[in-house]
A and B are shown apart, each in its own frame.
Chain A
Amino acid sequence: MKQKKTGQLLFSALGALIALGGFFLMFMPDRTNTAIPYIMIGVGCGLFGHQFGAFLAHRAEQRDPVMAKRLRVEAEDERNQEIVRRAKAAAFDLTAYVFGLLCFIFLLMGEGARVILPLVGGYFFLTGYSIWQQVRLQKKI
């Protein structure tokens, strides 16, 4: 447990360093690549938030075992899991409309294939992944 907490703190620090590095690069006067600082900020903040959140959750669990048990029951509760599954499925069904609308908006904005094709590719990838999951689950369940 202690090793896990140390790992979480180390990765939190690493995430914070990456994000700070990104901020530093963002304000450098002669930078050639415009995307790298933003990617560093995104990855750094994500890493920091995830790891530090896990660290705080572990600490809260140790300080209040009753609350920890309640949270565990809520997370493992089959109705809650069913609600999460249904919500995710409903959100996935929306992606077709969202991608379609985005394509339409980009077309109206005069964007060409450079923008439209990755969007269509992303949509096909999600659809393909969904079909692959269905085939996998048909065999598994």
Chain B
Amino acid sequence: MRNRLEELRRQHGITQEQLAELLGVSRQTVGSLENGRYNPSIQLAFRIAHFFGRQIEDIFLYEEEEN
């Protein structure tokens, strides 16, 4: 799943480390989320959306998988 986490983080002018601390996760998790290697739990997705003042679907872009 693609996401706009890195873009939003840069807009807010914060580092991965700072975002990680604000969300209560490790910096590696933020990096993995930004790279699209890891999809967050619904709780973490809500925390991220709440932090940026957006809807979840504004940040995490759902794509239908092709069979």
The answer to whether B28 and A73 have CB atoms under 8 Å apart is no
Please, which residues of chain A bring their CB within 8 A of the CB of B38? 79, 82
B16 at the A/B interface (Cβ < 8 Å)?
no
Contact A73 B24 (CB under 8 A): yes
Chain B residues touching A, range:
10 to 19
Classify chain A's interface size.
under 10
Cβ distance B42 to chain A, nearest Cβ, rounded Å: 11
User: What is the 8 Å Cβ interface bit string for chain A, positions 12-31, against chain B (1 contact, 0 not)?
Assistant: 00000000000000000000
Interface residues of A in 77-93 (CB under 8 A from B): 77-80, 82
Q: Does A64 contact B (CB under 8 A)?
A: no
Interface membership of chain A positions 66-109, coded 1 if the CB is closer than 8 angstroms to chain B and 0 otherwise:
00000001101111101000000000000000000000000000
In the complex, residue of chain B having the shortest beta-carbon distance to the beta carbon of A78: B41
Q: List chain B residues, Cβ under 8 A from A79.
A: 25-26, 28-29, 32, 38
Find chain A residues with CB under 8 A from B43 CB: 78
Q: How far is the CA of A82 from the CA of B26 in the complex (A)?
A: 13
B40 interface contact, C-beta 8 A:
yes
A77-B25, A79-B26 given; name 9 further pairs at CB < 8 Å.
A73-B25, A74-B26, A76-B24, A77-B26, A77-B28, A78-B40, A78-B41, A78-B44, A79-B32
Binding site for A on B (CB under 8 A): 20-21, 24-26, 28-29, 32, 38, 40-41, 43-44
